[in-house]
Structure 1
Amino acid sequence: MPTITVADHAGACYGVQRALELVQKVAQQATGPVHTLGPLIHNPQVVEGLASQGVTVVDDVPTQAGSTLVLRTHGVVPQVEQAARDFGLDVVDATCPYVKRVHHAAERLQELGYQVLVVGEAGHPEVEAILGHAPGAQAVAGVEQLDGLELGRRVGVVVQTTQAKTTLDAVISELTSRVSEVCVVNTICEATSERQQAARKLAAASDVMVVIGGRNSANTTRLAKICLSSCAKTHHIETCDELSASWFEGASSIGVTAGASTPTAQIDELVSRIESLCASSS
């Protein structure tokens, strides 16, 4: 029977736990419809569970009086929040506090006259919300995207909370060779860094690595890539039903990690299912 080890830092982060607790409380107390503006977190199973409790996902601000609108962990642009309040909705802000820190940093850099760049993935809801707090700011996913920008003399940089520090470092290094002044506010969430470091360490010591979390989760996808760089037999799954006994044949050590939107219960289930598969095939 192989050993199964869960990474020292894995699973739901503070921002996710906080958001889930807020929504659970709202679902129990609200007298009218409860909606989240977009999926609360990037975990389809959790979102389905909330739907069973009457918490539905909407793409636009609802106009029904008496409704409660929960702002997702990734945040929203200021105009969207204001529109919800103008419609008289009960707005519950579940934006991760660490994401709000990025909003404030981007706003401050712009106030100080810097051209603001957001190191992150354009189109990702967190990045779009950050850009909304600093109109005119631009997102760059990496060094290669700097060539398409007209850079000014003074550039301020903030970072999507789930980005890898290596990406940030590469962008900063390139910027310092191109502009007169670079002001960097490293807004990478500490929990993200801890998860990435723990995943890399465990993957290097494992024959097989399993990463559980939504495929639409940027931080989970990044964890899977990190693990794959150290362990060729890395598998990114969204649910335990995707597991295959063949993955663990001949393995003596199996590592497990999870994205920041993955509750502990899902990790526990994963470990249990791997144990069952290995026991039945031994």
Structure 2
Amino acid sequence: MKIILAQSAGFCFGVKRATTMAFDAADHCHQICSLGPIIHSPQLVRKLEEKGVEVIDRVEDIPEGAVIIRSHGVTAQELDHILARELRIVDATCPFVKKAQEYAAMLSREGYTVILVGEEEHPEVQGIVSYARDGEVFVVGDRDQAEKLPRKKRMGVVAQTTQSFDNLRQIIEVCLEKSGELRVFNTICDATSVRQKEAQAIARQVDLMLVIGGFNSANTSRLTRICSDIQPRTHHVETAAEVDPQWFDEVHTVGITAGASTPRWIIEEVVEKVRTIR
């Protein structure tokens, strides 16, 4: 059975940076926690917990010491609270997420209604929204939701960094019809676009597709949807233990990709599991 492994599978720049900062801080800080999981990989979060990095969900529950800000960032209000407590901050926010926060804040200050293309419940989206403090903000997940937006004189669009470009483009088309002035910042991370295009290309060549990553990872779930649209025999797995040999009946070529928060060792374990099936 032939295996095609995506070259881009695994950590993106922002995740690699965040995990390096977190492990380094764990080695040098006596008391440290992270506000929310550092990345959406339960396995890596457990490794950090073994080094003493406790995951805390609320700022008020953070003990004295250092706090790691996760790669998805935190809300403006949470950051204000952390600063007020004068805690030591290890800011592992992805630079691309930080840029989206800055654009949302700028558009809001300048009087634009902010349209954020993304998933409303995702922590990155909640963080970006919070920086648009001076006006209206609408979170829009797809074209149908965009069609329901009210008409506004001035609209400014930013995107969750892991969105697909096609979804952003469709929503921009709708916003063009609903505003007198439209300003757009394409804040989709390049690594996201590369992964999605590569996954599409591989899905067209294979009999079965595996997408590896945390079930709570938005970019991994999106990769799964993209691959499923092309190859219905697509499975999202978090670890090698979830790979079912029965999936591989009459399969000659397998494609494997992974989300931006998936550690390399997990990818390697899945590849080895697939190699043992036949």
TM bin, normalised by shorter chain, reads over 0.9
Percent sequence identity over aligned pairs: 41
> Which structure 2 residues correspond to residues 6-21 of structure 1 after superposition, within 5 A?
6-21=5-20
| Cα gap change, 1:228 to 1:64, in 2 (>3 Å) | closer
Q: Unpaired segments of 5 or more residues in structure 2?
A: none
Query: Is residue 2:38 matched to residue 1:28?
Result: no
> Which structure 2 residues correspond to residues 85-124 of structure 1 after superposition, within 5 A?
85-124=83-122
Once the two structures are superposed, what CA deviation does each residue of 1:89-148 show, in whole Å capped at 9, x if it has no partner?
A: 111111000000101111222222211110001111000000011023221111222344
DSSP 3-state at the match of 1:153 = strand
Partner Cα distance (1:249, 1:143) in 2: 38
Partner Cα distance (2:266, 2:61) in 1: 35
Query: Is residue 2:243 matched to residue 1:229?
Result: no
| Cα gap change, 1:31 to 1:143, in 2 (>3 Å) | same
TM-score by length of 1: 0.94
AA in 2 matched with 1:275: R
AA in 2 matched with 1:78: A
Partner Cα distance (2:234, 2:130) in 1: 36
1:145 is aligned to 145
Q: Any conservation in 2 of the 1:63–1:87 contact (CA below 8 Å)? A: no
1:68 is aligned to 66
2:260 is aligned to 260
Once the two structures are superposed, what CA deviation does each residue of 1:164-206 show, in whole Å capped at 9, x if it has no partner?
A: 1111111111111222111110000000000000000001101
Partner Cα distance (1:65, 1:143) in 2: 43
DSSP 3-state at the match of 1:180 = strand
Once the two structures are superposed, what CA deviation does each residue of 1:214-247 show, in whole Å capped at 9, x if it has no partner?
A: 1111100000011111112111001111111111
Q: Any conservation in 2 of the 1:65–1:87 contact (CA below 8 Å)? A: no
AA in 1 matched with 2:129: L
| Cα gap change, 1:197 to 1:86, in 2 (>3 Å) | same
CA drift at 1:62:
4.4
Q: Any conservation in 2 of the 1:65–1:89 contact (CA below 8 Å)? A: no
Partner Cα distance (2:34, 2:264) in 1: 22
CA drift at 1:63:
5.7
Please identify, of 220-229 and 146-155, the stretch whose mean Cα deviation from structure 2 is larger: 146-155
Partner Cα distance (1:37, 1:177) in 2: 40
Partner Cα distance (1:121, 1:63) in 2: 27
Once the two structures are superposed, what CA deviation does each residue of 1:46-83 show, in whole Å capped at 9, x if it has no partner?
A: 11111111111111114666421111111112221121
Partner Cα distance (2:14, 2:122) in 1: 17
Cα RMSD after superposing both structures: 1.3
Partner Cα distance (2:262, 2:103) in 1: 28
> Which structure 2 residues correspond to residues 1-282 of structure 1 after superposition, within 5 A?
2-32=1-31, 34-62=32-60, 66-135=64-133, 136-278=136-278
CA drift at 1:273:
1.1
Partner Cα distance (2:79, 2:41) in 1: 23
Please identify, of 125-134 and 76-85, the stretch whose mean Cα deviation from structure 2 is larger: 76-85
